[in-house]
C-alpha cells in the first residue's frame, strides 16, 4: 500500500522492530515513533494477555493521547492493529485479519465483539490475505490479497528445505529436535534461520532483507511456525510448506484447523510426535 501512495502524502508511524524495519525499507518516507507495547507470550497465550491487561490499558491511553495531540497534522488514517485509532476516531481504515462474525469459542467471541465495535465506529475493514485462509467466518471486508515483505530473487533452487524460526528458544528446540534428524537422515540440503543458540550447522540470528530474500528464493520448501504472516509469505510465494502451530498459541491452533492449500500443511505441535506425519511430507519434498 505504501508503494502505491505518493511520497509526500505518506507518514509511517510504528514502534520497535517494526519501525526499524520500515525505516530501512522506506528511507525516503517520514517515520514517527509511537508508544510501544511488548507482550511476552508464555505457554498459554490468553493468560499472558490477561496478565498484561493493565499494560495494554496504559498503552491504549498513551496511543489515545498521541492521537489527540497529533491528529490535526495528518489526513486519512490507516491502522494495522493499533486499536486506539479506530476505537477513538470514527471513519478510519483498519487492516487486520483478526475479525469474525460468528462465535465458536471464547477467542472467536472476543473477535466478534471487537469486529462489531469497529463497525459501529464506521471503520472500513481491510483483510490482509484471503478470508478463506482464516478459520472464522468474517463480515463483508475488502480483501487485500497475501501481503509479504519477502522480495523473490531469480536464483537456482539449491536448498531443499529452509527452516524459519521465530519463537522462544524452548519452542525452537522442540521443533528442531524433531525436524533436523529427519532432514539429515534423508540427506536433504537445509538451512536454519532465526535460531538464537550457538549450534553447529545452524545460522545464528534471524536474517532479514536481501540475505533472507535470497535464502527464501533458493529454497524449494519451508518449515516454520504457523503465524499468519508466515502463512501469507508461503501463500504469496507458492512454496510447499510445513507449518506447525505452537502449543498454547490459540490463533495458531485455530489456523491449524483449516486446510485451504494442498501444498501447505498446517499441523498441531502434538502431531509432530507422529513420526510418519513430517517424514511423509519430507519424502514428497525429496521426490520433487
Domain, as residue range, for 62: 34-145
CATH number at residue 235: 3.40.50.2000
Is the CB of residue 224 less than 8 Å from the CB of residue 164?
Answer: yes
* Residue 14 falls inside a structural domain: no
Query: Cell digits for 194?
Result: 532465526
Running along the chain, 288 residues long, what does each successive block of 10 average in pLDDT?
Answer: 66 85 84 80 63 82 89 86 84 91 84 91 92 90 88 89 84 88 90 60 51 89 92 91 89 87 88 80 80
In this structure, the answer to whether residues 166 and 139 fall within a common structural domain is no
In this structure, the answer to whether residues 113 and 181 fall within a common structural domain is no
pLDDT at res. 203:
42
pLDDT at res. 162:
93
pLDDT at res. 284:
82
Instruction: Determine the angle formed by the axes of helices 275-286 and 169-185, rounding to 10 degrees.
Output: 60
Report which secondary-structure segment, H or E, holds 234: helix 228-237
Report which secondary-structure segment, H or E, holds 252: helix 250-255
pLDDT at res. 194:
77
In this structure, the answer to whether residues 166 and 277 fall within a common structural domain is yes
pLDDT at res. 40:
63
In this structure, the answer to whether residues 262 and 208 fall within a common structural domain is yes
Q: Give this prediction's pTM.
A: 0.84
Name the domain count of the chain: 2
In this structure, the answer to whether residues 172 and 275 fall within a common structural domain is yes
Instruction: Give one DSSP letter per residue of 124-192, joined into a string.
Output: EEEEEB-GGGSSS---S-EEEE-------------EEEEEE--S-HHHHHHHHHHHHHHHHHTT--EEE
* Residue 23 falls inside a structural domain: no
pLDDT at res. 73:
86
In this structure, the answer to whether residues 107 and 193 fall within a common structural domain is no
Q: What is the DSSP letter of 83?
A: T
In this structure, the answer to whether residues 89 and 169 fall within a common structural domain is no
Amino acid at each position: 500500500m505504501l508503494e502505491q501512495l505518493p511520497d509526500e502524502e505518506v507518514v509511517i508511524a510504528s514502534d520497535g522492530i517494526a519501525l526499524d524495519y520500515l525505516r530501512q525499507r522506506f528511507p525516503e518516507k517520514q517515520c514517527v515513533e509511537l508508544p510501544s507495547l511488548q507482550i511476552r507470550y508464555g505457554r498459554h497465550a490468553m493468560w499472558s494477555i490477561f496478565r498484561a491487561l493493565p499494560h495494554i490499558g496504559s498503552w491504549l491511553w498513551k496511543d489515545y493521547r498521541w492521537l489527540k495531540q497529533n491528529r490535526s497534522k495528518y489526513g486519512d488514517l490507516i491502522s494495522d492493529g493499533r486499536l486506539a485509532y479506530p476505537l477513538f476516531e470514527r471513519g478510519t481504515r483498519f487492516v487486520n485479519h483478526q475479525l469474525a462474525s460468528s462465535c465458536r469459542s471464547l477467542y472467536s467471541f472476543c473477535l466478534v465483539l471487537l469486529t462489531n465495535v469497529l463497525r459501529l465506529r464506521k471503520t472500513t475493514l481491510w483483510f490482509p490475505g484471503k478470508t478463506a485462509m482464516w478459520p472464522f467466518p468474517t463480515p463483508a471486508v475488502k480483501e487485500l490479497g497475501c501481503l509479504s515483505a519477502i522480495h523473490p530473487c531469480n536464483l537456482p533452487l539449491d536448498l531443499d528445505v529452509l527452516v524459519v524460526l521465530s519463537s522462544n528458544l524452548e519452542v525452537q528446540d522442540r521443533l528442531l529436535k524433531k525436524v533436523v534428524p529427519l532432514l539429515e537422515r534423508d540427506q536433504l540440503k537445509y538451512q536454519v534461520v532465526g535460531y538464537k543458540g550457538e549450534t553447529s550447522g545452524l545460522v545464528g540470528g534471524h536474517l532479514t532483507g536481501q540475505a533472507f530474500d535470497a535464502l527464501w528464493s533458493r529454497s524449494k520448501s519451508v518449515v516454520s511456525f504457523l503465524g499468519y504472516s508466515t502463512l501469507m509469505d508461503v501463500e504469496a510465494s507458492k512454496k510447499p510448506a510445513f507449518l506447525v502451530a505452537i502449543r498454547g498459541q490459540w490463533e495458531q491452533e485455530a489456523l491449524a484447523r483449516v486446510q485451504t492449500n494442498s501444498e501447505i500443511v498446517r499441523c498441531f505441535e502434538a502431531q509432530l510426535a507422529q513420526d510418519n506425519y513430517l517424514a511423509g511430507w519430507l519424502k514428497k519434498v525429496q521426490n520433487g
